[in-house]
Amino acid sequence: QVQLVESGGGLVQPGGSLRLSCAASGSIARMTAMGWYRQAPGKQRESVAVMTRVGYRNYADSVKGRFTSSSNNAKNTVYLQMNSLKPEDTAVYYCNVVYEGDDYWGQGTQVTVSS
């Protein structure tokens, strides 16, 4: 079992920045993949950023050049740096890890981009 706790969401104006954090209960160095997803009202959950243990990274086209995912193995924490935020980035953001073939999800953190 892996528990994930997200933090860092909030209300930000268009063009602003936020950094989301996801603290894992286990060693993220052992995770097959780590990622961030989001779900806006009335829409399906979508992938935002994915990182694998072997160094592969992928970003949704809508966030390329604006969002950056990273991790700190010593702190067992995954981050999502979000810059140049747009109103369409408004959603609940979820942290996800894959460990021994199973998916684990955080509780989600709300990001609202509005003036």
Compute the distance between CA of residue 63 and CA of residue 69 in angstroms, rounded to an integer: 11
In one letter, which amino acid is 79? Y
Mean pLDDT, 10 residues at a time, the chain of 115 residues: 94 98 89 94 96 91 97 93 98 95 95 97
How far apart CA 92 and CA 100 sit, in angstroms, is: 26
57-81 in b/e form (b: 16+ CB < 10 A) is eebeeebeeebbbebeeeebbbbbe
The predicted structure's pLDDT at residue 54:
86
Q: Tokens 């997200």 map to which residue?
A: 6
Say how far apart CA 29 and CA 8 lie, in whole Å. Answer: 22
